Amino acid sequence: MSRLGRKILLLQEVSTPGFTTPKVFYGKTLNSSDEPKYKEQLTPLGQRQQYIVGGEYRLRYVEEAALLNYSYDITQTWIQTTFDSKNILSSQAQLHGLYPPSTNINFLNEWQQRNAVPPLDNVLNDQWTQW
């Protein structure tokens, strides 16, 4: 069945983060320097997994089906994740696969570049929000 002439109103993805370090360290590695430093953090392999998933979505929904724009359009995509570093990094890696940096049409103006601060857990951002 052809997708031509159809309009997608909503496409929703529910996913888990990529490969992460364990919740509990048992100290069973032969070399203590091989032991992960942080618990439940996204690994480079996990980032690569999410990047590959994003690339597959690009192939399916941008190139083959033409359901999404070639370039990232902020009005077309909405991302929501829990406030957890492994989930945030997984989402970012997936978006980099879906929309590689070379396809970005949205540019920050000078003021936005100076004042762009990501929200940090348990940190007061008053210094960034007050004038």
Whether the pTM exceeds 0.75: the reply is: no
- Any idea where the domains of the chain sit in the sequence? 32-129
- Can you give the length of the chain in residues? 131
**Cβ atoms < 10 Å from Cβ of 43:** 16
Q: What pLDDT score does 131 carry? A: 45
Q: Does residue 114 or residue 43 have the better pLDDT?
A: 43
Tell me how far CA of residue 25 lies from CA of 17, 53, 108, in angstroms.
19, 29, 42
Tens digit of each residue's pLDDT (9 = 90 or more) over 59-117: 988 888 888 888 887 778 888 888 888 899 999 999 999 998 777 666 777 877 777 66
